Structure formats: C-alpha cells, structure tokens
Structure 1
Amino acid sequence: MKITRIINNNVVCAVNERRQEMMLLGSGIGFQKKKGDDVDTEKIEKEFFLKSKNVTGKLYALLAQIPMEYIRVSDSIIQYAKQSLDKELNENIYLTLTDHINFAVSRYKQGMNFNNALLSEIKAFYANEYRVALKALDMINQEFNITLPEDEAGFIALHIVNAELGSEMEDTMKITQLIQKVLNIIRYQFKIHFNESSLHYSRLITHLKFFAYRLFNNTVMKSNDNDFLHIIKEKYKLEYQCSLRIAQLIRVDYGKELTEDELVYLTVHIKRVTDEERD
C-alpha cells in the first residue's frame, strides 16, 4: 500500500492494490513519512473505507486537529451500535460523533457541562439508541479517564438516530419535539396515560419518528387506496378528529399540510394505542 496523504503522525491516507482509497490509523504510522512511501503494515491498528468523499474530506480536516483516540473510540461506539441495533448507520456519523466526543471532552475539562433539555424525550422515544449511548458513555469515560454526565448519553443517542434516519441533528431535534407535541394531544384528548413498555406504544413512536422525518424532508405518503381511507375515517371518528388536531398543530407550528394518507395512518395508530390504554 502506498501513502497518498499524511494527516498527522498517527493517521494517513493510502491506496491498496485494488486502487481503493482508505484511511489508516496507527501509532506513528505517518511519522517521518511522505506521499508515495510504502505503508508500514505492522503499525496499522484500524482501516476505514468511506464512500462519501465529502465526509472523508471533512473527517481528514478534523483528524488533523485532534488525537487519534477520538476516532478510535468513536469507531468502537459505531461498531457496537451497529451490532446492538442490527442497523446500518449513515457513515456521516464518523464525522459528527467524533467531533461531538472531542467537543464534549474539551467542555468537561473546562468545567462546562451542557444540560440536555430533551433527555426525558430521548429516553422515551429512542430507548434502544439510549441504551447504546449509555454504553458509549462508559467507553468514552474509560478512554479519557473522565466522568461525563448522563446528558451526554442523550446527545450521543441523537447522533445514532441521525445516522439511522440519514438526517441532520437539527431535524432530529425537531422530530423529537414534534413527537412530544403529538403525544400530548393524544394524551389530552383521550385522558390517558401511556404504557411506555407496551407494543402499541412502541409502534406509535416508530410511526411518529418516520412520520416526522417525512414531514421535515417533504416526502409524501400516498397509497391511492381511497376505500381504505374512507372506512378508517368513518369507523374511527374520534381518533380521526384527533389526527385533525395534530394536523392543525403542524399547520400552525411548521407551516406544513398533512395528506389524507398521513392522517388516516396516524388515526390507525392512535386507535390501537388508545384502545390498549382503555382496556
């Protein structure tokens, strides 16, 4: 393998025999090396293949400024998340999570801790991602011999959700806030308390996550099954009225309109979860 770029003493870019570009991590792998030199393969600790040139370029710029321990622990967290959640993650997480960990550790050392205003919602709506994030917090604390607060697990969970949905942090924050608003409408109209461990509640949260993602990414759900739409509207009138209230909220707060399809599928999920809570 030939070195194509030196990022720092511990990170280099190289091409293999198949002309594939990769990023290599290893203590001293770039020390006293130059473009065109052979890679000392005995020093390779980790290899990265990233498809996005945009992500790769930004990651190179970040790694030029920080120790390799940050990308190393970030990669350990990402691999653990993929295995635990059994999901593929957008490779942009290598950039965003590494940058966040660097920022979080820096803030901690300066005695600056940020409160996570959405921590309760994150625990409720992204329970699996939050469990992974708690493990990630342990990894970070052990690597850097620090004690980051639980709020950081919430931020890490959002980065994982971003990577699952392929969205930006701003959108994920808006998605989380919208889910809470929708649940409040349902809770108020039907005067119920949700059983957060129930299957129908879990299905509702999953539906709302993708519902909100479609909303903020201007993706329209269209089924063309007019008979089904009519049956649901007539059969579940109270639940459909609740969906109309949610549509009004979205119109006022976000300036967006819901399609009939979105309203009807939302109605079905409301029906299921409210029936369960009333039983």
Structure 2
Amino acid sequence: MALLVVNRVYNNNTVLVDVGQKDQAIVQGKGVGFQKRHGDNILPTQVERIFYLNTNEAKQRFGTLLKDVPIDITMTSFAIIEMAKQTFHYPVLDYIYVTLTDHIAQTYKHIMAGKYQRSTVPDISAKYPTEYAIADKAVEMINHDLNVHFPRDAAQPIALHFINANGTENAEETKKIDQTDFGDNVNKIVKNVFREYGITRNITNQNYFDRLMIHLQYLVARLQTDEQDKRVLNQDIESDFQKLYPKSYRIASEICEKIQKRLQIKLNDNELIYFVIHIQRLIQEK
C-alpha cells in the first residue's frame, strides 16, 4: 500500500488521505484519526477499510453526500455497496451510492426519533434471493457500525435499492414484471421513456439524475401505502410549467400516464409537477 498522508480528519475513526501524488481515499480504522493533523502519515496496519476516490465523479459524489449525511452513515453505505460487489459479485449502477445512502440516513433518523414504521415493501425474496441476502448482511453491518438497531424488515427496502440499481446489461430483460413489484415497474417505465428521448446519466447531469432516483424511491413508498402527497399547490403551477417547460412537461406526462396504466392507479397532480421539476433540471430545458 502506498504512503497514506492525512488530508482531513473527519473523526477518530475516519480520515481523508492523499495516496501518492494524485489519488485520494477515505480510510477507516479504530483510532486512525486520533490526534492526527494535516500532513501526518497513517500506517497501513491501522486501516480496516479503504475507499479510493480516484475519479472526479467519485470525489464529487462523496462531497455531495457529506453535505447532507453524517460521515459514519455515508461510509457504512459505501461499505455495504463494496460488500455487494466483492462478496456477491453484484454489479450496480453508480446512482445507488446516493439513493442507498439517503435511504439509510432517513431510516436512521426515524429510528432515533422513535418514528420508525415497518416496511410496506412486498416480500419478493423468492424472486431476488441475492439482493435479499445482500440486504440482510447490510442490516448487520448498519447495526454493528452505527450502534443502532435496524429491525429485520428494514432489509426489504434495501433489497429494492439493489434490485433497481442492478448494473447487468440484460437486467431489464431478465426481470419478470409482477404487479406487486412497484419499484421494478416504476423504474422500468422511467428508463424506457428516457431512452425514447435520449436522456442518459452523464457528468453534467449526474447529481440531478441521482436526485430523481431518490424521488422515485419515495414515490414507490407512497404508492405502496396509498399516501400520495396531498399538499395543495397553486392551481396555476401546472399550466405555467406546461408553458415554460413544454418538453419536460411532455416527458413527465408520458411517465405518469404509463405508471397509471401499468399499475392501475391514479396519480395526483402533485406527482406530475414533481416529475416536471426533476426532468427540467435533468435536461436543462431553458
């Protein structure tokens, strides 16, 4: 292992280090950051986990998450994803770093506030045994690393995150549609519509794309519990958006129509507006 030089100490157990001349990494280990300052060396024997930030996208993703999520939760989420890759050889799309971290942070917040509610995600473990095995291990890691008690059913929505972020080229073809798989259906509909309009995740829109993925996770949760957003928005907003952002409105409308038809549900106007906002940011429609 190359020389590890302290760049920033997050806490006693987590440090940002410079590796060689160009690369950076996050290292974790008991007491690895204790009384360390910028420029100090860290012995490789002190390191229990290391996550390389060897691309600009990885650095940007990590920096974005730290604005909203405590470092310990972020690192636990990253460790879970690495566990899925290395132990289960599970390929993932990059946006899972944002969506899974956000989900774990929100669940942690609810548990600590005594407001946790049992997951309403349907049990489809027979269909996706690998993803559920990853999620069970993830709950163990969360409870160990964060000194918290995530109940066993917390594994189900975590499994859904991995199902939705499956990175295999033929994942779309190999998954069989089931009406109970809300997340699977919603994700496929959005991806198919995006494909029609040539919308892809790239270096320019990656943050907005990842935020849309988070929105989809919460939309799925609302659909499963029949608790759509009932806030009353200004009645002129929808017509204004249709005039200001005609392409975004057209794409959002197509997505909502297909979700309603496929899942045989009725989306309220708020859901359409939220899609317009996300898509406008994503495609930067002026």
Category of TM-score, reference length = shorter chain: 0.5 to 0.7
Cα distance per residue 1:102-149 (max 9 Å; x no partner): 4323422332222433324x5465443123212322343455565533
**CA displacement at 1:153 relative to structure 2:** 1.2
Give TM-score, length-normalised by structure 1.
0.52
* 1:214 matched residue in structure 2: 191
Deviations 1:26-65 (A, max 9, x none): 23333333333333444222111133232121244456x3
**What's the offset of the Cα at 1:72?**
5.4
Residue 65 of structure 2 contacts residue 74 of structure 2 at CA under 8 Å; is this kept in 1? no
Is the 1:23–1:47 Cα contact (8 Å) retained in structure 2?
yes
Residue from 19, 23, 26 that aligns with 2:26: 23
Aligned to 1:34: 37
- Give the partner amino acid of 2:28: L
Q: Which residue of 2 aligns with 1:81?
A: 84
Cα-to-partner distance string for 1:83-116 (whole Å, 9 max, x where unaligned): 4543322344344434433432342233222243
Count of residue pairs the alignment pairs up: 193
1:150 deviates by: 4.0
In 2, Cα distance between equivalents of 1:23 and 1:29 = 11
Paired with 1:84 and 1:42, the residues of 2 have a C-alpha distance of 22
Describe the superposition over 1:149-186 as per-residue Cα deviations: whole angstroms up to 9, x where unpaired.
Answer: 344112111222343259xxxxxxxxx9x944499xxx
Residue 217 of structure 1: SS of its match in structure 2? helix
Deviation at 1:13, TM superposition (A): 1.8
Question: What SS is found at the alignment partner of 2:25?
Answer: strand
Whether the aligned pair in 1 keeps the contact of 2:193 and 2:254 (CA below 8 Å) is no
Distance change (3 Å), C-alpha of 1:84 and 1:151: same
Separation in 1, partners of 2:197, 2:15: 43
Which has the larger helix fraction?
1
Task: State the Cα deviation string for residues 229-268 of structure 1 (Å, max 9, x = none).
Answer: xxxxxxxxxxxxxxxxxxxxxx987346xxxxxxxxxxxx
Unmatched segments (≥5 aa) in structure 2:
169-174, 199-252, 259-286
Tell me which moved more, 89-98 or 18-27. Answer: 89-98
Aligned partner of 1:138: which letter? Answer: E
Whether contact under 8 Å (1:214, 1:220) holds in the other structure is no
Identity %: 31
Structure 2 letter corresponding to 1:56: F
The separation in 1 between residues aligned to 2:101 and 2:7, in whole angstroms, is 23
Correspondence for 1:56: 62
* Contact 2:164–2:187 under 8 Å retained in 1: no
Q: Are 2:135 and 1:129 aligned?
A: no
Q: 1:91 to 1:220 in 2, by over 3 A?
A: closer
Write the distance in 1 (CA, Å) between the matches of 2:114 and 2:143. 15
| Unmatched 5+ stretches in structure 1 | 167-175, 184-205, 222-250, 257-279
Check whether the contact 1:12–1:30 (CA below 8 A) recurs between aligned residues: yes
Query: Contact between 2:91 and 2:167, CA under 8 Å: does it hold in 1?
Result: no
SS of 2:166's equivalent in the other structure is helix
Amino acid at match of 1:217: F
Scaled by the length of structure 2, the TM-score of the pair is: 0.51
Distance, in Å, in 2 between the alignment partners of 1:143 and 1:35 is 26
Of 142, 147, 161, the residue aligned with 1:140 is: 142
The equivalent residue for 1:110 is 113
Compared with structure 1, are the counterparts of its residues 58 and 220 closer, same or farther at alpha carbon in structure 2 (3 Å cutoff)? closer
Matched, 1:5 2:11: no
Q: Which amino acid aligns with 2:35?
A: Q
**Runs of 4+ more than 6 Å apart:** none
Write the distance in 1 (CA, Å) between the matches of 2:149 and 2:6: 38
User: Whole-Å Cα distance in 1 between the matches of residues 254 and 101 of structure 2?
Assistant: 37
Question: RMSD value over aligned CA atoms?
Answer: 4.2
Deviations 1:61-91 (A, max 9, x none): 456x35x3x4554344323322454332234
